[in-house]
Amino acid sequence: MALVFGAIADDLTGGLELAAMLCAQGVACEFVTDAAEPAQAQAIVVARRTRVADPAFARDEFTRIGSWLRDQGARQIFFKYCATFDSTPAGNIGPCADALRAITGGGLTAFCPSFPEAGRRVFQGHLFADDRLISESSKRYDPLTPMTDPDLVRVLQQQTATSVGLIPQQVVRDGLAAMERHCAGLVGRGIGFALADAATPEDLAAIAELTMAWPLMTGNSSVAAYYPALWRRAGLVGEAQKALLPAIAGPGVVLAGSCAEKTLKQLEIFAQSRPVLTIDPGEFSDPKAACAQALDWALPRLAAGPVAIATSAGPEQVAALQERLGRREAAARAETILSLLAQRLREAGVRRFLIAGGETSGAILDGFGITRLTVGAYRAPGISHAVADGAEPLAFCLKSGKLGPDDMFLPMLETMERGDG
């Protein structure tokens, strides 16, 4: 079976979303957290925790996994990053894309972070969150990757020596031939990377058609969702298959490490019907003490239904914590607390985990030693789930901090309990 599509995601929530989108289109897709056994499906997503890692480490990881995908015979390698292009001038998108470009033989590579369904659109190279430039949205307060410049051509160019250009909306709207002529012109001028404007699903479909045969493509999962229909038309994959997940009984919890405005709202809605405990990581020099206190709070309440435990906080509280501990230490302490707590909750019988935040998701799955998930079909932004097989199966929803309906927590936990059957 030929490997049609091999993706590397820079965090686990985005990787799960991408795999779920392909499953929803009937493509069998594996989801793993590292390169290991040979791929058994026609698509595979390898999700790593590199979004906020040291750029040299991230580049080395992408070189390693990209080389593995190439050796597996992947027809296309896809670099999945966030729709908000989470990065900084010293960020990882440019270095990781450079590494993959070297592996795949150069040529023009497009960047398409747009996710219209979630209000993320790129126009003339500028990223919008709903009706605001990304730099005027709550993303400017992100504790690790504040987005203060909406010009993605400029943002990417600060991270790479490869020249960066633009595929503007008027060219995208003019169709495939116009885009191919424009891209040939970019290559003629020595440009290796190009941001692609996209404001609508039709724009994404057009960009997917343009790039379907390119050896390297980068973007959010939303553009990749248009590939399966093109693969079938080209005879690269077979008939659609249904991705059905089993029901997972047992207690359920929400563990939230994201400080995104959306997650804070979701916790507020959840608190109207179920208990929520908020932990201040700055109050605990010993993560085990914070874990023990949270466990004592949670266990008596789980018999009555799900609970939520969060290290999430608003911008002012996050800034104060970072001032005391430093940016990375503040984040690492929160991740450690929630990872330890997840392990103790699992030992206590919890079987359903809704985890908010990419770094938090990675820390918890690493703590569990889970390297592979069976993924269900994508439903909507932030709404997809997976199961870890084993003697005691576990259900997961790994939710991006910025995505999902305000009232998603309880319904998602109920979906895990009910399954797809």
CB 246 within 8 A of CB 228: no
Encode pLDDT of 200-218 as tens digits. 999 999 999 999 999 999 9
The 10 Å Cβ neighbour count of residue 234 is 11
| Domain ranges for the chain | 5-233, 252-418
317 C-beta neighbours (distance < 10 Å), count: 14
pLDDT band for position 315 (cuts 50, 70, 90): low
Q: Which of 215, 184, 185, 183 is nearest to 196 (CA)?
A: 183
Whether the predicted pLDDT of 291 surpasses 70: yes
More confident position, 3 or 313: 3
Least confident of 123-132, 287-296, 374-383: 374-383
pLDDT tens for residues 255-265?
998 777 888 89
- Residue 318 has what pLDDT? 57
Rounded mean pLDDT of 373-390?
86
Nearest to 72 by CA among 111, 41, 26, 27: 41
Whether the predicted pLDDT of 149 surpasses 70? yes
Q: What does the pLDDT average to over 212-232? A: 96
Q: Report angle CA 377, 382, 384 to the nearest 5 degrees.
A: 20
Query: pLDDT averaged over the chain?
Result: 90
User: Is 252-418 CATH 3.40.980.20?
Assistant: yes
Domain 5-233, classified CATH 3.40.50.10840, yes or no:
yes
Q: Which residue in 242, 204, 211, 234 sits closest to 25, CA to CA?
A: 242
Give 354-363 pLDDT, tens digit per residue.
999 888 888 8
Percent of the chain with pLDDT over 70: 94
